[in-house]
Amino acid sequence: MDAPQTAAGRFARRHRFRWWELLPWIAAVAAFFAFPTYLAFGTQLLITILFALSLDLVLGYAGIVTLGHAAFFGAGAYTVGMLASHLGWNEPLSGLLAAAVVAGLIGLVSGLVLLRTHGLTLLMLTLCTMALLEQAANMGAHWTGGFDGIPGLSFGKILGLFSFDVLYFRSQYLYVLVVLLLCFLVVRTLVYSSFGQSLTGVRENLLRMHAVGAPVRARLVIAYTISAALAGVAGGLFTQATGYVNLSALSLERAAGLLIILILGGYGRLYGAFVGAVAYMVLEHVLAKAYPTAWQLGIGVTLVMVALYARNGIIGIGEALMRRLRGANTA
Amino acid sequence: MVLFIVSVGLSVTMGLMGFVNLAHGGFAMLGGYLIVLATKHWGLSFVAALALAFFAIAAFSVVLERLLYSRLYRAQELDQVLFTIGLVFIMTAAVTLGVGPETQVIRLPDWLRGQTNLGFMTYRTYSLALIVVGTLIMLGLWLGFERTRYGARIRAAVDNRRMAQSMGVDVGRLFTVAFALGSGLAALGGGLGAEILGLDPNYPLRYLVYFLIVVAVGGLGKVSGVFFAALLIGVLDFVLKIYFPKGGTIFIYALTLILLLARPQGLFGKKGA
Amino acid sequence: MSTARLETKGLSKNFGALEVAREVNFRLEAGARHALIGPNGAGKTTFINLLTGALAPSKGKVLLEGEDLTGLPQARRVKRGIARTFQINQLFRGLTVLENVCIPVFERMGLGGGMLRAAGRRAEVLAEAMRLIEMLKLGEDAGRRIVELPYGRQRLVEIAIALGLAPRVLLLDEPAAGIPSAETHILLDAIASLPRDIAVLIIEHDMEVVFRFAERITVLVNGAVYAEGAPQQIAANREVRAVYLGNALDA
């Protein structure tokens, strides 16, 4: 086959859906029927996937290394929580929208300020922003419930039809799944657009991006804002699904855990968020309660190994294996 | 002052070597535990235990540095972050397994307990001792880096690695030494500070942000900068906690944020660094 | 005198006491094939950085077709048609050759911010990128990632990216450095096949490349213009030979 034509064709077709892209969704629906008693956990899992997906947009595609992504998750979670507890605004969909707007605004403002820096300084700044929000939530006890957070929230029916299922999380699970699917489509479209291509350019070579005349900072701020809004949606879903919000939504543990999930799955790959979240959370679910220390040790060892040997995560390992298999076939 | 002793070590690794070392607090914690074990079970005196912790952790860090860290010197920050967070988890888990999850208490020798009358005010003896030790370390490091050939070499190697290498400086060995020194100091800080900061397996994560802030504010690789930054933040923290007991730290984060934006090189860093 | 495509007037730059550009008056005519030579540290790359706006001059002006560009940031100058390559490759290393070349084309066509339509569906971008890739004989490697290519091939991508901006002024910083001599002809052919309207300024140490390519040569020494003229004039200039060319030609 003609090499240039193949390359051009592959580029022109890369955004098309492939059959295996249906698999995660089939699995998610199948899980709904197969594990009716685990849907609370499943809902958490789906929310985490969405959160990881939002991080993937900035970290994996735009190459912005942040330790403070939980800031936006928390912003969304508290927005929904505070609206419901103080204003009695408990319609779920508009609540999510509000969460996205608030988190997106915070992302926009902090992005405008922070994204002038990079590397270590940026890392520190994102960390500080998150810590700042955490402290603000801690202090504004009247609004946020301080250290204890806002417990016992209840929300209206989704679309006025489906009420939240406190015991088995059935409607929450499906609701979150649908939101995740919509957000995923947004991210997927972005990633394969020329905007997405431009973001990967920034990630791969900042100097050259300037030299081809790209408005680098504007691109980064836009990506950061969108990502923040998505993280806000994830946070909002968290509050709605569980009926509470507290300081852990804004914690370094959440931000670091998310980073681990994404890296574990493979960043800059869309489905890394899925694989990482499933692998991490299922293992955590199984191991962490029985052997918390072993779990921590395992995570530590895994991280070290990933950083040293498998920088593209589980999906990366899969890709390498596939390549080797294919190479063996043609040889 | 405790902040200074721990942070200055971090400044050495992060500033001088340009390595994002989130595991630094881990070395401090290990140092602290070593001192607890040494004084409690092996009957060493406090001072001897400190020395032991310093050298043992320094040696331990050399092993890690040679085997693992050195592979990541040129890697992206992301990998460095992941790797060192991983190390923190391992250290935390190891300590939990080996010693247990409860908070450890360091038994100070009698001569460090109680109060000392300075004439104009009385003060806790231990705090005074910390101030003296901290100042000594700062002076020692400052002299070491700014005034000796070894320090000059390290600074040269950081400035321009290839140039230094071509001039016959063994950069690899230099970094190993600097790393050992940084970790040793962390261990010292961990041990000395355990009385005030507490010591339990979550220590490295809990104080991570603090250490990082001190280093960032002080300017990477600036010993005196870190000293003053630690002082500043320590005092600020203390004052704010008295006047705004609930949300004192928020000001520290806000200040750090503004400061880093205005002067990414840190309060005392060189311009254009 | 007609307006030059690109002109500098009294362009100076100093870092503290170090003067890296001194009162440089320089004209790059439309359609020029101009070479900038000089010993290491003469300030050649600095000069390019001043032209592109990567560095701000301490004094003096940069004019594009008579229009003052001096205060404009780099991105705006690129939009006006100034493109450059780098002495040391600055490529999107994890991406394929095709993606590398598409990125500047997207930017030039103002599509870099487009979020809805898939990049692959921009047939015009794809066609333009493929045209450039074929022009630099990179067709076989179009689907390969940069990291998988030998350095010499990477050098060609470097040029393809600059060409993707459809420049009016092309600044080439030592394009032949690192290309095996057997392959320099691909580079020279590519430059030769550029539309005559593009003004090309090349910094090069390889005198063979310089004399085959240049119709005019400027010699820069210690940040100042030392000599300028047609190639045979420069080759005949004793002082230039003594300062620089002598060593290069003998070597």
C20-58 residue pLDDT tens: 888 889 999 988 899 999 888 888 889 999 999 888 889
Question: Which residues have CB under 8 Å from A237's CB, separation 6+?
Answer: A47, A50, A96, A175, A176, A179
Q: Is the pLDDT of residue B248 over 70?
A: no
* Nearest chain A alpha carbon to B255: A128
Report the pLDDT value the prediction gives residue B237, as an integer from 0 to 100: 67
ipTM field? 0.86
The Cβ of residue C22 has, within 10 Å, a number of other Cβ atoms equal to 19
Q: Do chains A and C touch (3 or more CB pairs under 8 A)?
A: yes
Q: Do A128 and B256 lie within an 8 Å CB cutoff?
A: yes
Q: Is the pLDDT of residue C246 over 60?
A: no
Provide the residue count of chain C. Answer: 251
A5, A205, A225: which to substitute to probe chain C, counting the most C Cβ within 10 Å?
A205
Name subunits touching B (3+ CB pairs < 8 A): A
CA distance C120 to C128: 13
Q: Is the pLDDT of residue B240 over 70?
A: no
Query: Burial level of C191, CB count in 10 A (0-12/13-18/19+)?
Result: buried
Comparing CA positions, the residue from A158, A165, A331 lying closest to residue A243 is A165
Residues of chain A with a CB closer than 8 angstroms to some CB in chain C: 3-4, 6-8, 10-15, 189-190, 192-198, 200-201, 204-205, 207-215, 218-219, 222
CA distance A187 to B106: 52
A285: which 2 tokens? Answer: 């679910």
**Residues A21-43: what's their mean pLDDT?**
90
Q: Do A300 and B91 lie within an 8 Å CB cutoff?
A: yes
Q: Which of A209-218, A297-306, B202-211 has the highest mean pLDDT?
A: A209-218
A205 and B CB contact within 8 Å: no
Q: Which residues of B touch A297 (CB under 8 A)?
A: 89-90, 93-94, 97
Distances (CA, A) of C40 to A15, A27, A65, C37, C247: 47, 63, 37, 9, 13
B83: which 2 tokens? Answer: 């790797």
Q: Do A193 and C115 lie within an 8 Å CB cutoff?
A: yes
Q: Do A211 and C86 lie within an 8 Å CB cutoff?
A: yes
Comparing CA positions, the residue from A249, A246, A70 lying closest to residue A146 is A246
Judge contact between C225 and C37, C-beta under 8 A.
Answer: no
Q: Which amino acid is at B33?
A: Y
Q: Which residues of B touch A311 (CB under 8 A)?
A: 79
Residue A75 Cα to chain centre, angstroms:
14
- Sequential DSSP letters for A257-312: HHHHHHHHH-SSSSTHHHHHHHHHHHHIIIIIHH-HHHHHHHHHHHHHHHHHT-TT
Q: Do A299 and B89 lie within an 8 Å CB cutoff?
A: yes
Cα end-to-end distance, chain B, whole Å: 26
Q: Phi and psi for C23 in degrees, rounded to 5?
A: 45, 50
Report the pLDDT value the prediction gives residue C250, as an integer from 0 to 100: 43
Alpha helices in chain A (DSSP H): 3-13, 23-34, 39-55, 70-87, 92-114, 119-139, 141-144, 170-192, 194-204, 206-211, 216-242, 252-265, 272-283, 289-290, 292-308, 313-330
What SS3 state is found at B225? helix
Percent of chain C whose pLDDT exceeds 90: 34
Q: Which residues, listed in sequence order, are joined to residue C15 by a DSSP beta bridge?
A: C18
A58, A66, A135: which to substitute to probe chain B, counting the most B Cβ within 10 Å?
A135
Q: Phi and psi for A65 in degrees, rounded to 5?
A: -85, 110
Question: Which residues have CB under 8 Å from B192's CB, separation 6+?
Answer: B2, B5, B50, B130, B133
Q: Is the pLDDT of residue C86 over 60?
A: yes
The Cβ of residue C62 has, within 10 Å, a number of other Cβ atoms equal to 23
Q: Phi and psi for B93 in degrees, rounded to 5?
A: -65, -40
C59: which 2 tokens? Answer: 């004094």
Comparing CA positions, the residue from B54, B9, B14, B48 lying closest to residue B30 is B54
Q: Is the pLDDT of residue C159 over 80?
A: yes
Place of tokens 């199984």: A286
Judge contact between B88 and A300, C-beta under 8 A.
Answer: yes
Give the H or E element holding residue B253.
Answer: helix B248-262
Report the pLDDT value the prediction gives residue A233, as an integer from 0 to 100: 96
The model's confidence at residue C162, banded by pLDDT at 50, 70 and 90, is very high
A4 and B CB contact within 8 Å: no
CA distance A251 to A69: 10
Q: How far is A208 from chain C (nearest CA, A)?
A: 6
How many pairs of residues across A and C have Cβ atoms under 8 Å apart? 144
Query: Burial level of A175, CB count in 10 A (0-12/13-18/19+)?
Result: buried
* Nearest chain C alpha carbon to A196: C115
B245: which 2 tokens? Answer: 């007991």
* Nearest chain B alpha carbon to A121: B264
Contacts 24+ apart (CB under 8 A), B234-242: B234/B1, B234/B3, B234/B4
Place of tokens 């929300």: A155
Q: How far is C18 from chain A (nearest CA, A)?
A: 25
* Nearest chain A alpha carbon to B258: A125
The model's confidence at residue B226, banded by pLDDT at 50, 70 and 90, is low
From the list A119, A263, A305, the residue facing B77 with the nearest CB is A119
Give the H or E element holding residue C169.
Answer: strand C169-173
Distances (CA, A) of A83 to A43, A156, B93, C125: 22, 13, 40, 47
pLDDT in tens, A59-115: 999 988 888 899 999 999 999 999 998 888 888 899 999 999 999 999 999 999 888
Report the pLDDT value the prediction gives residue A235, as an integer from 0 to 100: 95
From the list A138, A300, A304, the residue facing B247 with the nearest CB is A138
Judge contact between A243 and A154, C-beta under 8 A.
Answer: yes
Q: Do A306 and B257 lie within an 8 Å CB cutoff?
A: no
The model's confidence at residue B242, banded by pLDDT at 50, 70 and 90, is low
From the list A117, A120, A300, the residue facing B90 with the nearest CB is A300
Distances (CA, A) of B265 to A2, A240, B81, B262: 52, 42, 20, 9
Report the pLDDT value the prediction gives residue C132, as an integer from 0 to 100: 92
Q: Which residues of A touch C115 (CB under 8 A)?
A: 189-190, 193, 195-196
Q: How far is A171 from chain B (nearest CA, A)?
A: 36
Q: Which residues, listed in sequence order, are joined to residue C82 by a DSSP beta bridge?
A: C169
What SS3 state is found at A154? coil
* Nearest chain C alpha carbon to A7: C143
Report the pLDDT value the prediction gives residue A229, as an integer from 0 to 100: 97
Report the pLDDT value the prediction gives residue C221, as an integer from 0 to 100: 87
CA distance C161 to C171: 12
CA distance A210 to A204: 12
Report the pLDDT value the prediction gives residue B5, as an integer from 0 to 100: 63
Percent of chain A whose pLDDT exceeds 90: 41
Q: Which residues of B touch A206 (CB under 8 A)?
A: none
Higher pLDDT, B58 or A1: B58
pLDDT in tens, A229-239: 999 999 999 99
DSSP letter (8 states) at residue C113: T
**Residues A126-154: what's their mean pLDDT?**
84
Q: Do A208 and C165 lie within an 8 Å CB cutoff?
A: no
Judge contact between B3 and B234, C-beta under 8 A.
Answer: yes
Higher pLDDT, B226 or A256: A256
**Residues C12-22: what's their mean pLDDT?**
85
Q: Which has the minimum average pLDDT: A20-29, B48-57, B126-135?
A: B126-135
Q: Do C77 and A213 lie within an 8 Å CB cutoff?
A: yes
Distances (CA, A) of B113 to B45, B103, B246, B267: 14, 20, 30, 35
Comparing CA positions, the residue from A206, A216, A203, A213 lying closest to residue C84 is A213
CA distance C197 to A196: 33
Q: Phi and psi for C78 in degrees, rounded to 5?
A: -60, -45
Domains of chain C, each with CATH number or no CATH:
1-81+168-189+201-251 (3.40.50.300), 92-166 (no CATH)
Comparing CA positions, the residue from A209, A226, A228 lying closest to residue A217 is A209
Q: Is the pLDDT of residue C219 over 70?
A: yes
CA distance A87 to A69: 27
Q: How far is A136 from chain B (nearest CA, A)?
A: 7
Q: Do B86 and A116 lie within an 8 Å CB cutoff?
A: no
Q: Is the pLDDT of residue C66 over 80?
A: yes
Give the H or E element holding residue C6.
Answer: strand C6-15
How confident is the prediction for chain C on average, in pLDDT? 87
CA distance B65 to B221: 19
CB-side exposure of A137: number of CA atoms within 13 Å? 27
From the list A6, A8, A212, the residue facing C161 with the nearest CB is A212
Report the pLDDT value the prediction gives residue B221, as an integer from 0 to 100: 55
Higher pLDDT, B146 or C84: C84
Alpha helices in chain C (DSSP H): 44-52, 74-80, 97-108, 123-135, 151-163, 184-192, 207-213, 231-236, 238-240, 246-250
Q: How far is A60 from chain C (nearest CA, A)?
A: 12
Judge contact between B182 and B223, C-beta under 8 A.
Answer: no
A132 and B CB contact within 8 Å: yes
